[in-house]
Amino acid sequence: MSIRPEDVLGVPKPDWKTEDVVMLQDMTSKFLEAEVLPHYDRFEKQEIFDRSVWELAGQNGLLCASMPEEYGGAGGTYAHESAILEAISHVGVDGFGIALHNSIVAPYILHYGSEEQKKKWLPKMASGELIGAIAMTEPGAGSDLQGVKTSAKKDGNHYVINGSKTFITNGQLANLVVVVTKTDPAKGAKGTSLIVVETDGQEGFERGRNLDKVGLKSNDTSELFFNNVRVPTSNLLGNEEGEGFVQLMQQLPQERLQIGGTAIAMAERAIAITSDYVKERKAFGKAVIEFQNTQFKLAEMKTEATIGRVFYNHCVERHVNGGLDPVTASMAKYWLSDLQNKIVDECLQLHGGYGYMNEYPIARMFRDARVQRIYGGTNEIMKLLIARSL
């Protein structure tokens, strides 16, 4: 591809993209192009990454970039995590689940874990020895986290966990899982707690199917089962039981911002590869780019993507400075993922019949983009959250 996705819009570099953030993004892109992209078709077919790639990512400083150095991280901020997730989408290896590991799972341990928990788990997450997942969704509870049924009952100095989870990203590879449980079902949301389960050798823990998804095939997404799983009470995140729902609400804005970042980065790549394609593809004796409809469509997409990029950069700036509110994060998640799907669809149309062929990157992007409007809270839920602010 002759066009760099990050250059396709010409948006001025935001203040949060400091020199070290730009260097990290370039380094990540080079790593992904050298170590992941050549194997990506295989990962898509086997529907899981090789664990060795995670360990290699850890060796190259791509895991836990925003975690403090004292816990094995690189001491960065969300800006550094954004650089990594943008590189993933720009290179086109969207199924690599390190963004969830880095900026969703690890922050729960950093913000709510004890000093002992942080020292025990975060360095191993930074090296790739531990791969993280968060087990929220259940067969009967998706966006409605208050409907979680998985229970954790205290038995001496242990919790006994029973329940099932589904749609768990990194579910086949993960060996450190933050589990959303009910420690007191009678209290509803106030009876929710987050408990960490280390799965290696854990009796009663079972992985179900590696789920057969429409897109993001290379990312293992699984059912998880907890059958009388005993974990020490010291694995509770927070000072006491019942803090889980508040912890989730505090961290979900970053997850939703991350989805928005993935969305705008893929939209940029879609425009870049489509611009290349329509300049080369001939129809009726001239390049497709010479048709006015093509020019208008690309002009519309570039305009909308520019608006999206400026909005995302604004949200990151606020988040890095501690000022991103849940409503604005919900706006970013819903609007940018809707825009992503619209742009990818328009770009596929400009490819004509070839856009429907799996050998063309736009076809995979079309499949991979769709779930963005569902996970992290459906876009309909985002609109409800936004409406409550009016």
Q: Is 380 a catalytic residue?
A: no
Q: What are phi and psi of 282, to 5 degrees?
A: -105, 145
Q: Which two tokens stand for residue 304?
A: 């909308």
* C-beta atoms surrounding 75 within 10 Å: 13
Out of 81, 255, 290, 317, pick the active-site residue.
255
Q: Which of 201, 179, 204, 195 is nearest to 233 (CA)?
A: 195
Annotated catalytic residues are 255
